[in-house]
Amino acid sequence: MTDDFVLDVTRIRDEVRKRMEAGPVTGTYGLDKERVIAVLNDVIATEVVCWLRYTRHAIAAIGIDRAQVSAEFTEHAKEEMDHALRAAERVSQLGGDPDFDPKTLEQRAHTDYTTPSDGDLDRMLKDNLFAERIVISTYQEIIRWLGEHDPTTRRVMESILEEEEEHADDLVDLLGI
């Protein structure tokens, strides 16, 4: 196999000088930037809804295993908020406005905000496992779409995905299934 890679530094230097205000986004950015920003903004909505759901469940949890489950929900909630902030930081780097608008959170989120009225632990664990399994699938699709076109956004999404998989695993352990 022959390697015909030639790096045309002169052409790249000329091109990147043209739009200095775009910061880290250069002509070699491999995707429609606005589309990536829109996808990340829906990730932000998803993470905020997950934060709300876990926070609500941590407070609502009752029963013999309440302390353990509530502590796990609280820990997951913190990580979901951190995911929202990581996606928002990337939106900002791409020159977009992170969208935390509560009016559209529910319709943009991949997951649902559920509020079991009786504080039933099993129901809450299953609701959260369902949500985690949704984001594991949707984030995998996003990562495949990003591919080699935007490696930095892909790594952000990969780091979030890794934690969602840990969340799902924690919930399965608590459910004993």
What residue numbers does the annotated binding site for Fe cation cover? 47, 83, 132, 164, 167
Q: Cβ closer to Fe ion: 15 or 162?
A: 162
Contact stretch for Fe ion (CB under 5 A) within 21-29, 87-95, 107-115, 159-167: 159-167
Number of residues that bind Fe ion (CB under 5 A): 6
CB of 87 to Fe ion, least distance (A): 9
- Indicate the residue type of 70: S
Told to check if 80 binds Fe ion by CB under 5 A, we report: yes
Q: Cβ closer to Fe ion: 19 or 155?
A: 155
Q: Cβ closer to Fe ion: 13 or 125?
A: 125
Q: Cβ closer to Fe ion: 83 or 110?
A: 83
Task: List Cβ<8 Å contacts ≥24 apart for 148-153.
Answer: 148/30, 149/29, 149/30, 149/31, 150/29, 150/30, 150/31, 150/36, 152/24, 152/90, 152/93, 153/36, 153/40, 153/90, 153/94
Q: What angle do CA 156, 159, 161 make, to 5 degrees?
A: 105
Of positions 36, 43, 58, 83, contacts Fe ion by CB under 5 A = 83
Of positions 36, 87, 167, 174, contacts Fe ion by CB under 5 A = 167
Told to check if 53 binds Fe ion by CB under 5 A, we report: no
Whether 171 and 125 have beta carbons less than 8 Å apart is answered as yes
**DSSP secondary structure code for residue 3 in this structure:** -
Total H helices, total E strands in the chain: 6, 0
Binding-site ranges for Fe ion (CB under 5 A): 47, 80, 83, 132, 164, 167
